[in-house]
Amino acid sequence: MTYVITQPCVGVKNASCVDVCPVDCIHADDDDEQFFINPQECIDCGACEAACPVNAIFEEGSVPRRWKPFIQLNAEYFLKQRQAKKKRK
């Protein structure tokens, strides 16, 4: 399981979650509209969920139905980064 960042982060990017994450697995570029959690690195501590001022972060199994697509969006963000790195090598 992992934690997932959803719709309320879009356009907000408060970054409180980034500050509290003990494994530094929350990322975004300046051009991105929201932050994303790397599901392969998240240790499920829940610190980010408590820190988020707009309640955008949920444990994967508790993501509201309307925001379920964000589970895939978070995972794909890092998949695309890995693929881009491989191409550059």
Which stretches of the chain bind ligand SF4, using CB under 6 A?
3, 20-23, 25-26, 37, 42-48
- In the complex, minimum distance from the CB of residue 79 to ligand SF4, in angstroms, rounded to a whole number: 17
- In the complex, minimum distance from the CB of residue 83 to ligand SF4, in angstroms, rounded to a whole number: 22
Closer residue to ligand SF4 in complex, CB, 45/64: 45
d(CA 85, CA 36) in angstroms, rounded, equals 18
Q: Where are the beta strands (DSSP E) in 1-89?
A: 3-5, 26-27, 36-37, 57-59
Output the CA torsion 9→14→17→23 (10° steps). Answer: 100
Closer residue to ligand SF4 in complex, CB, 16/89: 16
* Single-letter amino acid, residue 47: A
Closer residue to ligand SF4 in complex, CB, 1/83: 1
